[in-house]
Structure 1
């Protein structure tokens, strides 16, 4: 129970900081909504090439939720750099609080922000474009993407503790996040690309998360994409969270 309480205290302190300055949450969801409004009609125009009966909004919307999780979580490390500079992390480390709680509280905050942003995006897609996802599939897809975001946020916090400055962190994240996004099929399914690009995308674990989320949105629970994507996403998240937890335990502020 002590670990749970410590995690809750860190979670609430982190969430309050975001509630006092919600501009980044708004910015985080504004870009995907613009993609939905501006890029959605283009996806609708090529819908026939995506397969018979393909719904462009069920293809684009879950991918944009993943985009929110990808970039929002990847840049979470900037917060830890700021806290390092202010001495917040140092003060937390001299307390008896478990190092895992210091990470998990922050990660849970990032997951909650993602869920709120995803809900806003889905509501816009339903109200404006008539998106009608499978209700259970919608919940499961957001849960899966939240797990992905937990792993990414953990890795970003570890990078922040290592880099200790925004310029280094930005260089590393930008070098990784853009290729990962392009090879995950977020904007367009990778099956519309050449074979060599499809094979390259299969190496990207986030492409499996995208495929799983799209299948869940359709309500295709028996699809192999769902099971493969779930296993890959959970396994990667556990590895990255382990790395993040060890960084909090090992590095000195």
Structure 2
């Protein structure tokens, strides 16, 4: 008797699960599905993207002119050449460190549990979310640079592209750590924001992002050596200054890759433990 049983892929929560899919192919497919979902959510509510861009623009407009005298630069163009790379890194840090806030909302509303009921691999849930951070970084970084070109900023397109790729790698790691923090702090939203804010601003200040650390106290320069963000800022200044051979470039790439690796390892372990 035909009881209407259908064969073929089974759909759970809108995602197709095929027994033939396994290994790397399944991971890539699942990660792509999560990435597309996260990007669509961002496009439906672009205010987060706009807000994360407004604050660096305010720093650029109000803090930049003050640096002209503080740095001893002879022109606004020279100041921008030093300050703009730090602003782009600031965008990356602000945006990716708040990735976990979206996950916190899904945990409170129960939508994350529904995602866990799908056949998506647990690793792809985190990697797809982290990869979503790369697209906004590219758009925001390009916009900042384009706005500064009329004021004397010298644009090196290939160097800018390389800098954005490295920032994307770094952003994936920070985004993964932010998601891991959200999973650890579920039902305690205050804990997520306390840790995020406590860590964010010391990292920002101790990277030389807004002010050079050369004239700072010795303890501050020493602590900065252990801050991965220091090497990312130095890399961006070297690349946007037009150099691929500066030693800061290699050190920055190493810092970005290390941050990405640590973030993914910690995030994937936390995701599997929570699931």
- Calculate the TM-score normalised by the size of structure 2: 0.86
| Pairing 1:120–2:120 present | no
Does the 8 A contact of 1:138 with 1:216 survive in 2?
yes
Corresponding residue for residue 5 of structure 2: none
CA distance in 2, matches of 1:115, 1:241: 21
CA distance in 2, matches of 1:7, 1:197: 40
| Pairing 1:87–2:79 present | no
Corresponding residue for residue 271 of structure 2: 248
CA distance in 2, matches of 1:95, 1:25: 28
The number of aligned residues is 250
Please report how far the alpha carbon of residue 206 of structure 1 lies from its aligned counterpart in structure 2 after TM superposition. 0.7
Does the 8 A contact of 2:174 with 2:259 survive in 1?
no
| Pairing 1:74–2:97 present | yes
Q: Residues 93-242 of structure 1: matches in 2 within 5 Å?
A: 93-127=116-150, 129-164=151-186, 165-242=188-265
**Structure 1 residue matching 2:155: 3-state secondary structure:** coil
Please report how far the alpha carbon of residue 114 of structure 1 lies from its aligned counterpart in structure 2 after TM superposition. 1.5
Corresponding residue for residue 48 of structure 1: 72
Corresponding residue for residue 36 of structure 2: 12
Does the 8 A contact of 1:36 with 1:125 survive in 2?
no
CA distance in 1, matches of 2:48, 2:108: 20
Structure 2: unaligned runs, 5 residues or longer: 1-24
Please report how far the alpha carbon of residue 5 of structure 1 lies from its aligned counterpart in structure 2 after TM superposition. 1.8
Q: CA RMSD in A?
A: 1.9
Q: Quick one: structure 1 residues 137 and 189, their matched pair in 2 at CA, closer, same or farther if it must change by over 3 Å? A: farther
CA distance in 1, matches of 2:162, 2:79: 20
CA distance in 1, matches of 2:209, 2:163: 14
Structure 1: unaligned runs, 5 residues or longer: none
Bigger helix fraction: 1
CA distance in 2, matches of 1:192, 1:26: 34
Q: Deviations over 1:181-213 (max 9, x none)?
A: 100111022223233322221111110110011
- Calculate the TM-score normalised by the size of structure 1: 0.93
Please report how far the alpha carbon of residue 49 of structure 1 lies from its aligned counterpart in structure 2 after TM superposition. 6.5
CA distance in 1, matches of 2:137, 2:157: 18
CA distance in 2, matches of 1:135, 1:239: 30
CA distance in 2, matches of 1:200, 1:108: 30
Corresponding residue for residue 38 of structure 1: 62
Return 39-48 or 178-187, whichever deviates more: 39-48
Return 238-247 or 184-193, whichever deviates more: 184-193
Please report how far the alpha carbon of residue 166 of structure 1 lies from its aligned counterpart in structure 2 after TM superposition. 2.0
